[in-house]
């Protein structure tokens, strides 16, 4: 009898334990559907500041008098300034955000200006912020001003903001879209002198630490083109007038090397994710599957690719041997039907990346590179592409097309796809060549192929080759790091007509070229 009672009690206890364990499982799987904890938040619960990620790709500082420089990351990154107070003095995006917030929260008038007026205003003392892609104007204004995006008077897409620092322009801010050549002048309340102070600080620090001077294509090639290009071949006139030893021409952490020549170093590099490190890979996978990791299947393929799968492909994580991480999640009908706008989707994407391993280097060195909007089966999706910088320059991995590092697809209130290909910089490498030549060297080596490409793309006859100058067709010039044979090589990224070229910064050799999107 006692034995029977003991068995009954044991049975009841086992029954209760199995019920409670099942109930815990059902907390994550109501009605049998799979939703990750971190992917199941309502938009109102996501409190993320996306101004860091929706930040400019480059900053053009015009000191006035035809003197320009361009930074492809914040100046404090380039100059290796770590002290908070010194960092703040040259922090361009942070200063610009504060100034724009105060300016945009008040009333302002909008007037469209022509390209000639835009070109004129760029020559004055100013800061120009260039975004990597066209951003919805109402979203950008909403983000900067804190007002509702529906209240914004600016509906067009924007990819550049210019904030003048002259007395005559104190009440004006300029927005533009260089892709469609449309420019707007905002006239509102007078701005304080923070931008002017910022430019003066950058100038002073630049005097000590060095900066690269930029001139227009027109200044160098005598063609009508105001695209800026760096001029590395330089001489400090003071060294000719005074004894070099009397001058501190090289400040600490200067752009110049020990010979006083402008220098941008190459670096060795490796994948951020090492697929052979099992402990690291498993901990990475746990970030994606959370508490349901125990129910995940692990598959290792012949080529070393590791796949983690939950359910019947409801969630899958794949890490291949070159360090590419891919995560796919089946759409959840309830969450995917929500119609979020650009900013809300960006918040989802930003939160997801932060939760799943954070940004390469840090959030300040990442930025929105491009985005797409798609709609399928009444499901609206945003696909965001993020780029990142290493040692002050953006990183370009060839054959990855738009993906400069991180790709996130947000469908409604759910992240349904995530891809990450991130490289980490290693040792600094010595360059074979020590002098960075001017852009003429690039032309000397590549003018024939560039012209041929132009004729082919535009379906022109071969005899037209003498009829134009390549320099007229330049649309953009910037510097970046190019991944080549496991090294990060500094290159010219030059957009000529509709083709983007990558030329070695030191010897002008062409690594590759792509049609521009």
Partner 1 sequence: MLRKIITGTLVLIMLSTSSVVVYAGPLNGQNIDSELKIENEKKEEKIEIISPQINPNEDVIAEKNLLISIKVIGESKVTLNLYKILDDSEELELLSEEIEPNDELETNYAKNIKNIEPGKYKMVFKKDGKKKLKNIEFNVKKTKEVVNKEIKDSLPELLDLSITDLLLGE
Q: The tokens 């799968």 sit on which residue?
A: 309
Among 241, 245, 279, 459, interactor with partner 1 by CB under 8 A? 241
* Sequence-separated (6 or more) residues with CB below 8 Å from residue 267: 390, 391, 425, 426, 427, 428, 429, 481, 487, 488
Q: What is the residue-wise DSSP string for 262-285?
A: B---EEEEEESS-TT-HHHHHHHH
Q: Which is closer to partner 1, CB of 144 or CB of 199? A: 199
Q: How far is the CB of 225 from partner 1 (least distance, A)?
A: 11
Among 1, 84, 237, 302, interactor with partner 1 by CB under 8 A? 237
Q: Which is closer to partner 1, CB of 188 or CB of 437? A: 437
Main-chain phi, psi angles of 129, to 5 degrees:
-110, 115
Q: How far is the CB of 481 from partner 1 (least distance, A)?
A: 24
Per CB under 8 A, 221 contacts partner 1: yes
Q: How far is the CB of 237 from partner 1 (least distance, A)?
A: 5
Measured distance CA(357)–CA(73) in Å, rounded? 22
Measured distance CA(321)–CA(325) in Å, rounded? 10
Q: Which is closer to partner 1, CB of 103 or CB of 214? A: 214
H/E stretch holding 345: helix 342-355
Window of 10-18, 186-194, 226-234, 301-309 that interacts with partner 1 by CB under 8 A: 226-234
Q: Beta strands 58-64 and 67-71: pairing type?
A: antiparallel
Interface map 125-144 toward partner 1 (x if CB under 8 A) = --------------------
**By three-state DSSP, how is residue 360 classified?**
coil
Q: The tokens 């892609």 sit on which residue?
A: 133
Encoding tokens for residue 203? 């100038």
Site for partner 1 in 401-440 (CB under 8 A): 438-440
**By three-state DSSP, how is residue 505 classified?**
coil
Cβ atoms 325, 319 nearer than 8 A: yes
Q: Which is closer to partner 1, CB of 243 or CB of 276? A: 243
Interface map 66-105 toward partner 1 (x if CB under 8 A) = xx--------------------------------------
Per CB under 8 A, 63 contacts partner 1: yes
Q: Which is closer to partner 1, CB of 233 or CB of 400? A: 233
Binding site for partner 1 (CB under 8 A): 63-67, 213, 215, 219-223, 231, 233-238, 240-241, 438-440, 443-444, 447, 469-471
């Amino acid at each position: 009898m006692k034995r029977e009672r003991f068995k009954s009690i044991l049975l009841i206890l086992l029954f209760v334990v199995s019920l409670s364990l099942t109930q815990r499982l059902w907390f994550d799987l109501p009605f049998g559907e799979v939703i990750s904890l971190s992917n199941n938040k309502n938009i109102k619960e996501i409190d993320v500041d996306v101004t860091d990620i929706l930040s400019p790709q480059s900053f053009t500082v015009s000191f006035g008098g035809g003197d320009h420089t361009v930074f492809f990351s914040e100046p404090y990154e380039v100059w290796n300034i770590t002290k908070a107070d010194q960092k703040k003095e040259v922090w361009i995006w942070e200063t610009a955000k504060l100034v724009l917030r105060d300016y945009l929260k008040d009333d302002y008038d909008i007037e469209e200006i022509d390209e000639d007026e835009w070109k004129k205003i760029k020559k004055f003392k100013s800061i120009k912020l260039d975004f990597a892609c066209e951003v919805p104007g109402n979203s950008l204004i909403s983000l900067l001003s804190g007002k509702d995006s529906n209240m914004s008077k600016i509906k067009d897409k924007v990819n550049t903001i210019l904030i003048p620092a002259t007395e005559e322009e104190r009440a004006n801010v300029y927005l533009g879209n260089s892709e469609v050549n449309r420019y707007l002048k905002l006239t509102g309340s007078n701005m304080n002198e923070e931008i002017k102070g910022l430019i003066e600080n950058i100038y002073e620090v630049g005097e000590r630490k060095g900066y690269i001077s930029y001139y227009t294509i027109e200044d160098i090639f005598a063609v009508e083109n105001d695209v800026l290009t760096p001029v590395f071949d330089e001489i400090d006139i003071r060294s000719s007038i005074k004894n070099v030893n009397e001058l501190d021409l090289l400040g600490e952490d200067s752009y110049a090397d020990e010979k006083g020549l402008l220098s941008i170093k190459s670096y060795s590099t490796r994948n951020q994710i090492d697929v052979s490190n099992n402990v690291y890979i498993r901990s990475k996978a746990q970030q994606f599957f959370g508490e349901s990791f125990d129910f995940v299947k692990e598959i290792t393929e012949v080529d070393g690719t590791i796949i983690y799968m939950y359910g019947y492909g409801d969630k899958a994580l794949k890490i291949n041997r070159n360090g590419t991480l891919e995560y796919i999640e089946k759409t959840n009908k309830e969450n995917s039907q929500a119609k979020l706008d650009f900013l809300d989707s960006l918040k989802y994407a930003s939160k997801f990346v932060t939760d799943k391993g954070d940004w390469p280097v840090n959030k300040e060195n990442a930025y929105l590179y491009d985005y797409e909007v798609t709609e399928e089966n009444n499901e609206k999706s945003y696909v965001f592409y993020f780029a990142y910088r290493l040692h002050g320059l953006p990183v370009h991995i060839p054959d990855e097309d738009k993906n400069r590092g991180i790709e996130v697809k947000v469908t409604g209130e759910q992240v349904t796809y995530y891809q990450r290909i991130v490289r980490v910089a290693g040792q600094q490498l010595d360059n074979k060549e020590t002098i960075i030549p001017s852009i003429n060297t690039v032309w000397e080596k590549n003018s024939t192929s560039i012209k041929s490409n132009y004729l082919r793309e535009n379906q022109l006859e071969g005899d037209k080759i003498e009829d134009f100058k390549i320099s007229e067709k330049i649309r953009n010039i910037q510097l970046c790091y190019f991944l080549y044979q496991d090294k990060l090589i500094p290159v010219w990224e030059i957009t000529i007509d509709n083709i983007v070229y990558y030329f070695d910064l030191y010897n002008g050799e062409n690594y590759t070229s792509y049609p521009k999107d």
